[in-house]
A and B are shown apart, each in its own frame.
Chain A
Amino acid sequence: MANSASRAKRLIRRQAKQATLDILPMLIGSGPFGIIFAVIANNAGLSFWQSQGFSLFVFAGSAQFVGINLLSAGVATGAIWLATYFINLRHLLYGASLASFARPLSQRWLLPLSFWLTDETFATVIARFEKAHLGVWAKWYWLFASIAMYLNWQLWCAAGYWLGDLLPGAENWGLEFAMVATFVVIIVSQITSIGRLIGVLAAAVISVTLALPYNLGMIAAALIGVIVGAWIDHRQVSQ
């Protein structure tokens, strides 16, 4: 009994190590994004805890950016809530992908994993789930990746607020390119078939050209990319 408990502990620790290692590029890549958010919040006149409140409770990079911009523009609170929901709708897609690998999940697991779900954790965790069958350890891996991303985001945003005092204008340095580079690398590594390649290209073209409010064009682009990709691979197989 004691033996199996210590074996479980060892396996959980292994997931923690692997998850932290895998998500490391995201921790670094999202750094500039967090810094810029807090610099903008600082320049908008928010106190440290008001700025950090966004990161601690909302914890959604792009929604935080839109929120702070709408707030500075004097947009009504209800409209900011709605915008937040629409911008984050893509998480519905992420949840569908991830949950099927980590079933079953109790409420105890669902609540924190939902709260901590981001683009970065999704990209990292789904890459590992596709590579290896983790079974009952999948949720642990997912949890540790989420925690690492959450703590990391808090640190970068706190540092950014402080930097905003020292270096006004840091948001114009173009640091957000780090996030672009990180996602591009992840996307390329996921292209394992001609269908996925065409799906990626279709999604990119459509999300750039289809201008709908609140990122809805982006969600449509993702769905069309999925359908096009699946259709092309399916056709190839049946030929």
Chain B
Amino acid sequence: MTVSEYWWLIAGMTVATFVSRYPSLWYFSRRPAPNWLKSLLDYLPSATLSAVTAPLVFSPNLGAVEQWPVWLGTVSAIGCAMRQLPPLVSILIAFAVYFGAKLLM
């Protein structure tokens, strides 16, 4: 790939990303969302983040990563968060469990 081909690729990806982000921000910053939409938006953050994260936990194509350590780490993250530990502490515990399990396996 030549240098100009590379920058062409980057420019297009930049535009593609921007046009996926801008329109709804623009639209909803100008007028309030109707009430029915507002009540749906209430469920959007948790559901979307769940849809983004679940494939990382369950997809078999994480390559070299074994599934069991990922599952154990995920369960500990859920446990820590349910106990309302500070986010950073929960993440570090989950990461430790994950790496511990990886080393043992």
Contacts and interface: CB of A to CB of B under 8 A. Distances in A.
B62 to A, nearest CB: 7
Secondary structure class of chain B's binding surface, majority of residues: helix
Contacts of B82: 188
A81 B52 contact: no
Interface stretch (A5-13, A114-122, A153-161): A114-122
B21 A91 contact: yes
Secondary structure class of chain A's binding surface, majority of residues: helix
B47 A199 contact: yes
Interface in B69-90: 69-70, 73-74, 77-78, 80-82, 84, 87-88, 90
Interface residues of B, number: 74
Contacts, number: 280
Nearest to A182: B91
Contacts of B46: 187, 190-191, 196, 199-200, 225, 229
A226 B47 contact: yes
Interface of B: 1, 5-30, 32-33, 37-59, 62-65, 69-70, 73-74, 77-78, 80-82, 84, 87-88, 90-91, 94-95, 98, 102
Interface of A: 24-25, 28-29, 46, 50, 53-54, 57-60, 63, 67, 71, 77-78, 80-82, 84-85, 88-100, 102-105, 110-111, 113-115, 117, 119, 122-123, 126-127, 130, 172-174, 176-191, 195-196, 199-208, 218-219, 221-223, 225-227, 229-230, 233-234
